[in-house]
Structure formats: C-alpha cells, structure tokens
Chain A
Amino acid sequence: MSDLLYSEVEEDLRASVRDLFADKAAAASVLARTESAEPYDLKLWRTLAAELGTAGLHVPEELGGQGASTRELAVVLEELGRAVVPVPFLGSAVLATSALLACDSDESGQLLRRLAAGEAIGALAVTLSTWPGAEFPTAARADADGVLSGRIGLVADASVADVLVVPALGPDGPGLYAVEGATVTEATSLDLTRRLADVTVDGAAGRLLAGPDRAAEALQHALLVGAGLLASEQLGVAQWCLDETVGYVKQRYQFGRPVGSFQALKHRLADLYLELVTARAAARNAADALADGRDVAIAVAVAQSACASVAVHAAEEAIQLHGGIGMTWEHPAHLYLKRAKSDELALGTPGRHRAALAKLVDLPA
C-alpha cells in the first residue's frame, strides 16, 4: 500500500518553502507583479531553485540534484498552488527535468546539472494541454543535422526559459532536442501567474537528447510525472481557497450574524472539505506511485480526474462565497480561479484522464 502521509522531511521542506513564500510572495505582491513588465519573480526563483535546492529535488545526487523523489516535489507544488507564485517550477523543475531524466544521454546529463543547480531555466516545448498518451507531437521537424523548423503554441514558462526541450520529428522518427535561442512570443494567458508562450524554432540548432529509441518514451514519462504532480498543485490551490473562504465567512456579518453561521454556506464548505479529503489522498497516492514506479498510470489518471475538478470547484466557491469582493481584481481569489481553470486543461482534462482510465481498468465505452 502506498504511503499517503507526509514524512517529517517533507513537512520540513514544506515549512521552508511556505516561509519563503510568506516572506517574498504575499498575495499583494503577486498581484502587482502580474501587470508589471516582469511577470515572473526570477529573484524568488533563484532562492527557491538554488538556495532551497528545489530545482533538482528529484535529480540524482551524481547529477547535482538532491536525490529526493516525486513525493518531495509534490509538497513543493502544493505550496506553489497555495501561493500561486509566478516562478517557472512546473516548466523547468518538473516537465523539462523529468524529460531529461528519462533521456539518459551525456547531453541530457549536462543539461540536468545546469537545471538542477538553478543556473538555467528549462521548458518542455509542448502545448500545455498535451496529455499523457497523446500522439508524439509533429509541430516541429528536425533535419539530419539537427536543424529544427516549426512552431509550438502555448508552452508553459517558455518566456523565461534559457533552454527548451523540443520534441521534433527527425528523419528517422521522434527525437528530443535541446534548443537555445528559439524565438519566443509571449501569449496572453488565462492564468496570470503561469505564462504561456508561442515558440518558433525555424532554423534553430538542436542538440539531440534522445533519438527514436527513447524520445517518445521520455516525453511520455515527463507528461505522466507532470500530470501526476500537477494534482498536488491543484490540491494546494483548493486548500488555499477553502482556508481563505472559511476565514472570510467567519468575519463577514450580514443579517446580524457571521455569514458562516448560515447552514446554506456551512454545507457547501463542508462538502468542499470532503472533496479536499479525497483529493489529498489521490494526490499523495500519485506522488507516491511516481516515486516507486508502481501502478503509475492508474494513480495519475485518478488523481488528475479528481483534483482538477476539486480545484476548480474550490476556486468557484471562493469567488461566490466572498460575495462582491470576490469579483474584484484587488482580491487575490481570481488568481486562483485562473490557475485552477488553466490547470484543469493542462496535461489532460479530467475527461481525457477518465478516458485513459477506461482503458486501464477495462471499462470500455
């Protein structure tokens, strides 16, 4: 049976990440940054990535990482969800790093060292809505010399990436290439705290990370890790929404008493709490399955199907139960709604994951 609890080490890690965010990423500053010229907080990223060592958490020590597992990564993602911190953690530390770990080549090893040390930011050049199990993308092509062409839309964290891991169809079949210096055009993202960009790789020189024997599998691995761990970010989003809303309805008086004393509201929040109880178990199960490689596909499909919807529901309830203030730009609730709804589409919608599940558990349509 998987270990669904948090270890002491994980709780310590959570405490340091939470302290850092409390200090450097308060809601007001996150909000202010979304409209500034620097939507990502790269100073905070350096502290998180390099000083706390989270960029290389699940990278083996011999490649300069911490040698921890996806369980620890998941805890960081919970905290990132709680604070909707604008840092390229998902793109670099989760997606690009997981793809590189599965490539297992000299080129990928060198790149991993730079990412794990926080010296460089990576991004996996797939459209963020790509799901585990999807066909290998053909938006980019590579010639025999590794020169790439094509355009990949809506790539997470690409606008601050130093290096892109690009899946491209080469002359012999699928390949993963490292590209520095692609043309990156920022898109207007629904999620203000996780930016998406369109990537054009025409004429860019790619260094081969994995060839046809390995590329599709490595990409699949990265998408599966990403989807499984995104459940923990969704859990964090939902937890913030519940905590914040509970706090608010205790203070807000209408009709002569706190609105939180009305049964109509209490029951909605109790239901949300119940959803979080089950979402937490599912997210932990996915993080644990990814750590020891057992039962991964089902655990990820279950976690994504459950947690994506819980995060959206929690964010929608937060807006509604905050009343008028929930509709304003000044209150941070909308940042969570935007994150939750974008996350629902990211790395496979709940429906996609249920369709995958139908095959995995033999319940055909």
Chain B
Amino acid sequence: MNNTVTTAEDLRERVGDFLAGHDPASTGRLEFLRARFDAGLAWVHYPAGLGGLDAPRALQSVVDSAFAKAGAPDNNPRRIGIGLGMAAPTILRFGTEEQKKRYLRPLWTGEEVWCQLFSEPGAGSDLAALGTRAVRDGDDWVINGQKVWTSVAHIARFAILVTRTDPDVPKHQGMTYFVCDMTDPGVDVRPLRQLTGEAEFNEVFLSNVRLPDANRLGAVGEGWKVAQTTLMNERVAIGGNAMPREGGLLGMVAKTWREHPELRTPDLHERLLRLWVDAETARLAGSRLRQQLAVGAPGPEGSAMKLAFAKLQQALTGLEVELAGADGLRYDEWTLRRPEKVDMVGREPGYRYLRAKGNSIEGGTSEVLRNIIAERVLGLPSEPRVDKDVAWKDLPR
C-alpha cells in the first residue's frame, strides 16, 4: 500500500479523520500518540509504517498546527529532543529494517528517551579523537570507556554510541557506531554538576558493557560517517525555530525594561537597543533561511545561525542580570537538581546568564563553527593537519 500524500489539504483532511476517531479529550495520552504514529502523522516525511507518509518535510508544520489547534497531547519534543533530532534520522538512514521497527515508535511517543554518547574527556570539539574501545567477542562487542556531557542519560533507555574499534588506523577511520541499552550492566551514569549548580548533564562510565552485533548502526569502521549524519541533524535542530518579533529572552528583558524605569541608565539603554536590533536581524535571517528551504534552495547561511544565537543569548542574559539591579546579586537555587530538560524561562536571570555560557560550547563550539564557515562557506584553506595520516594509537594525548 502506497498512498502518497503531497498536499497540505490532504494532510488536514487526514488529521481531521484521525481526530474524529481519537477524541483528544477522552483518549489517553500514550494511546493517542501511538495511534498518531501508526496513522503516519508523527513525522510526515518518514516512510509509511515508520510514523510517516513519505510526504515533503515542509508539510510537517501543517500537521503539527492542526493537532495543536485541536488541543491534542504532544510528545514533549523538548524532553525527547535528542531522540527526535539526532537518533531518529540516524537510525532511519543507517538502521536495518528490524532496528527501525524496534526503535522509532517508542522514541517518538517518548516511552523510550534517548541520549547521545559521543563526547569524551579527551574528545570534545575533536570528536574523532575519541578512545572508548569496542572489542569484538563472538556475536557481541565489549565496550570500555568514559563519556561526558551526556544530557538526560539519567532518564534515557537507549543511547547512540560512537566507539573506537581499530586503533591502528588514522582517527577518522576505525570507529563504529552502536545503539547502547542504558539498562545494561556496566553502564554507570553519574551526575555532572555544572556551574549553574544543577546536573543537567552526566558522566557515563562504560565497563565491560556487552552489546550484541545486532545493535550496530552502519558498517564496522564507518562510525565517523554515521556520526556526521547525527551531527548535521543536531545543528539543523538548534536555531531552526520561527520566533515572533521580540520573542524569547529579548522579550523578557524588554518587559523588565518597561516595568522598571528606575533601573534604566544610558549605558543599558544603548546596549538594549543594539541587542534589539541584533535579535531582530537574526530573526529575519532565520526567516530568510526558512524561505530558502521552502523553495528548495538552501543557502549556506544555516551554519552561521547557531553562532549568532549563542552570541545573542550570552549578551542578552548578561544585560538581564545588570538590569535586575541589586537583585542581580541573588541566585535562586544552588541545590543540586537533575532536570529532564533545560528551562531557560522558568528560572531567574542569574541562572540564564550562567547557562547561556554553554550555548557557544554545546553542539559545536563557536570556534569550530567559525572554522567550518571559513573553510566550507568561504572556501579558505584549512589549517595544516598534523594528525591526518597518523594511527589513532600514535597520536599525542
């Protein structure tokens, strides 16, 4: 059966039919989400049978807004963002049919949360330097190593995992990509307390974890290629959202400005207006990027947007603390907490200031992004690479 959906009208009709059979008011949340997945209305650009209808990706917003309008439960995309943004597209591209059938549905409904075991204490921006070892043992692989900066590992059922399977070849080769069951013996998740006081991230220690070969994604030694797909999707996910004028953090700062004339100084006014303009031009640039995507002509601007976002968030949160006056000296909460998602809105300015420092580090540091823009967009020559033809085991570390 292959009834391809290509128009927004078709999709609205399908959502209408679905809602007629599943009243959001009387259907249980999980039951509703499972049925929505089975009807192909989860992510419309995915294949039929895997939550989608082979429809153009641009039509997803039609479905999402139709469900939102009907008051339907959503699948909490912020809580399961890593699964949606990184694991799912990678499984779709490199997974076997069994893997796709097993993982995608509970991933989308949020029944199984995913995390990402990529970065290591010695391999952050230079991800290809990673050293977590996977050694073949019969039908299994035995994993040993340490991962770090792992968001939501404490609630995750599965992880996407990159390992070193051949230390005798240069670092971009000899890597292999797996799905790791976080409930397996030998997986130890420890909170990693951050400068904000909370433990949004974790360290994950892997000691003799046995993964069946059936958990491998992609060929042995092809892990870098698979990871590139994951990372490309991560950067698309960050910074791709439409926002109204004066939305987000800027809106909060502007509100404070209007409500507290006693805090105004010429210096703060000047900075606020500059940031207002920066936020507005970044917002317009985001709109322009989406317009390019909609007509099928994506420009290279996307790589610049995460950089813009990080700069803006950091400048805005810094201003916000100053604008709080004496209250900027307070902090709301130093107790160790382990949140399930980052909440920039529900906390005080001090928290936002500290947390925003991560915006220029997570998902590719601003320095690495500048290199990417310089080399891939502007075509500038790369820095000399001293590690290119050296076996991983011989690299200085």
Residues of A with Cβ closer than 8 Å to B? 1-5, 246, 249-250, 257-258, 260-263, 265-267, 269-271, 273-274, 277-282, 284-285, 302, 305-306, 354-355, 357-358, 361-365
B373 CB, nearest partner CB in chain A, Å: 4
B275 CB, nearest partner CB in chain A, Å: 10
- Chain B contacts for A363, CB-based, 8 A: 254, 257-258, 269, 272-273, 276
The docked-state distance in angstroms from the alpha carbon of A279 to that of B274 is 14
The docked-state distance in angstroms from the alpha carbon of A1 to that of B286 is 12
Q: Interface extent on B, as a size class?
A: 35 or more
CB <8 Å contact, B291 and A3: yes
A235 CB, nearest partner CB in chain B, Å: 12
CB <8 Å contact, A260 and B380: yes
B146 CB, nearest partner CB in chain A, Å: 29
Task: Bits for B170-210, please: 1 = Cβ < 8 Å to A, else 0.
Answer: 00000000000000000000000000000000000000000
Given contacts A4-B291, A258-B381, A261-B380, 18 further A-B contacts (CB under 8 A): A1-B287, A5-B295, A249-B380, A265-B380, A266-B375, A267-B367, A267-B371, A273-B304, A274-B307, A281-B285, A284-B284, A302-B280, A302-B281, A305-B273, A305-B274, A306-B277, A357-B277, A363-B257
| A and B contact pairs by CB, cutoff 8 A, 26 listed | A4-B284, A5-B291, A5-B295, A246-B379, A250-B379, A257-B384, A261-B381, A262-B383, A263-B371, A270-B304, A273-B373, A273-B378, A278-B284, A278-B285, A280-B285, A281-B284, A281-B287, A282-B284, A284-B284, A305-B273, A305-B274, A306-B278, A354-B277, A363-B254, A363-B258, A363-B269
A363 CB, nearest partner CB in chain B, Å: 6
Query: Taking A250-B380, A266-B374, A363-B257 as contacts, is the C-beta distance between A280 and B288 under 8 angstroms?
Result: yes
A348 CB, nearest partner CB in chain B, Å: 14
The chain B residue with its CB closest to the CB of A305 is B277
The 5 closest A-B pairs by CB, nearest first: A266-B374, A281-B284, A270-B370, A278-B281, A4-B288
CB <8 Å contact, B371 and A357: no
The docked-state distance in angstroms from the alpha carbon of A80 to that of B373 is 27
Q: Which of B331-389 contact A (CB under 8 A)?
A: 367, 369-371, 373-375, 377-384
The docked-state distance in angstroms from the alpha carbon of A331 to that of B373 is 27
CB <8 Å contact, B308 and A274: yes
Asked whether any CB of chain A lies closer than 8 Å to the CB of B21, the reply is no
**A to B contact number (C-beta, < 8 Å):** 127
CB <8 Å contact, A270 and B374: yes
CB <8 Å contact, A361 and B276: yes
CB <8 Å contact, A5 and B288: yes
- Chain B contacts for A362, CB-based, 8 A: 258
- Chain A contacts for B377, CB-based, 8 A: 270, 273
CB <8 Å contact, B370 and A361: no
- Chain B contacts for A355, CB-based, 8 A: 273
The docked-state distance in angstroms from the alpha carbon of A285 to that of B245 is 13
- Chain B contacts for A265, CB-based, 8 A: 380
- Chain B contacts for A358, CB-based, 8 A: 269, 273
- Chain A contacts for B327, CB-based, 8 A: none
A359 CB, nearest partner CB in chain B, Å: 11
Q: Which of A250, A260, A273, A281 contacts B288 (CB 8 A)?
A: A281
- Chain A contacts for B285, CB-based, 8 A: 277-278, 280-281
CB <8 Å contact, B374 and A267: yes
CB <8 Å contact, A285 and B381: no
Asked whether any CB of chain A lies closer than 8 Å to the CB of B264, the reply is yes
The docked-state distance in angstroms from the alpha carbon of A361 to that of B273 is 10
Query: Taking A257-B381, A261-B384, A267-B374 as contacts, is the C-beta distance between A357 and B284 under 8 angstroms?
Result: no
The docked-state distance in angstroms from the alpha carbon of A282 to that of B278 is 10
- Chain A contacts for B308, CB-based, 8 A: 274, 277-278
B67 CB, nearest partner CB in chain A, Å: 22
CB <8 Å contact, A5 and B292: yes
The chain B residue with its CB closest to the CB of A285 is B284
B293 CB, nearest partner CB in chain A, Å: 11
The chain B residue with its CB closest to the CB of A284 is B288
CB <8 Å contact, A261 and B383: yes
CB <8 Å contact, B288 and A266: no
- Chain B contacts for A2, CB-based, 8 A: 287
A255 CB, nearest partner CB in chain B, Å: 11
The docked-state distance in angstroms from the alpha carbon of A186 to that of B277 is 36
B343 CB, nearest partner CB in chain A, Å: 26
Asked whether any CB of chain A lies closer than 8 Å to the CB of B282, the reply is yes
The docked-state distance in angstroms from the alpha carbon of A249 to that of B381 is 9
The docked-state distance in angstroms from the alpha carbon of A275 to that of B301 is 11
**Which interface residue of A269, A281, A365 has the most chain B CB atoms within 10 A?**
A281
Query: Taking A270-B370, A365-B269 as contacts, is the C-beta distance between A260 and B277 under 8 angstroms?
Result: no
Q: Which of B207-265 contact A (CB under 8 A)?
A: 246, 254, 257-258, 261, 264
CB <8 Å contact, A266 and B370: yes
CB <8 Å contact, A277 and B367: no
Asked whether any CB of chain A lies closer than 8 Å to the CB of B266, the reply is yes
- Chain B contacts for A260, CB-based, 8 A: 374, 380-381
The chain B residue with its CB closest to the CB of A295 is B245
The docked-state distance in angstroms from the alpha carbon of A264 to that of B301 is 21
CB <8 Å contact, B378 and A306: no
The docked-state distance in angstroms from the alpha carbon of A269 to that of B246 is 28
CB <8 Å contact, A279 and B276: no
Query: Taking A250-B381, A269-B378 as contacts, is the C-beta distance between A274 and B291 under 8 angstroms?
Result: no
The docked-state distance in angstroms from the alpha carbon of A364 to that of B270 is 11
CB <8 Å contact, A277 and B380: no
Q: Which of B274, B287, B292, B378 contacts A270 (CB 8 A)?
A: B378
CB <8 Å contact, A277 and B304: yes
Query: Taking A278-B284, A280-B285 as contacts, is the C-beta distance between A246 and B307 under 8 angstroms?
Result: no
A286 CB, nearest partner CB in chain B, Å: 10
The chain A residue with its CB closest to the CB of B242 is A1
- Chain B contacts for A302, CB-based, 8 A: 277, 280-281, 284
B276 CB, nearest partner CB in chain A, Å: 7
The docked-state distance in angstroms from the alpha carbon of A278 to that of B381 is 25
B20 CB, nearest partner CB in chain A, Å: 32
Q: Which of B284, B292, B369, B383 contacts A263 (CB 8 A)?
A: B383
Q: Which of A246, A267, A281 contacts B370 (CB 8 A)?
A: A267
